[in-house]
Amino acid sequence: MSAEPRLDALFQALADPTRRAILSQLALGPASVSDLAQPFDMALPSLMGHLRKLEDAGLIDTKKDGRVRTCAIVPEAFAPVRGWLDEQRALWEGRLDRLEDYVLQLMKERRDDSGS
């Protein structure tokens, strides 16, 4: 019934302020692990955990060069999230359209009725 484990991981990854802050930083350009860690009052392994979650969700991509691991954002990864939101809005608007049709139908029937 779920059929979208990717969305679970994406939304879950975004549900944390530290991880969102990391993404905002990376949106400005790639950065190393310790660059990313610097603004946070948090031990390195904790921050690594966040990076791992972001990478597992596909939101960032990391590559180790020498002893430095460089992290970069993957902008396309946000697409499924936007997609779900759009789909959701489409459902909602579809409902509004049907509601409108219904109301118009009611008005028409009342007109016909009083006209008989």
Partner DNA sequence: CGAATAGTTAGTCAAATAACTAACCAACAT
Partner DNA sequence: ATGTTGGTTAGTTATTTGACTAACTATTCG
Binding residues vs DNA (CB under 7 A): 12, 15-16, 18, 32-34, 37, 41-46, 48-51, 53, 64-69
Residue (of 21, 112, 101) closest to 59 by Cα position: 21
Of the pair 15, 113, the CB lying nearest DNA is at 15
Distance (Å, whole) CA 7 – CA 78:
10
Residues 34-73 that bind a copy of itself (CB under 8 A): 39-40, 73
Distance (Å, whole) CA 111 – CA 107:
6
Distance (Å, whole) CA 30 – CA 63:
11
Contact region for a copy of itself (CB under 8 A) — 10-18, 45-53, 60-68, 106-114?
10-18
Of the pair 39, 94, the CB lying nearest DNA is at 39
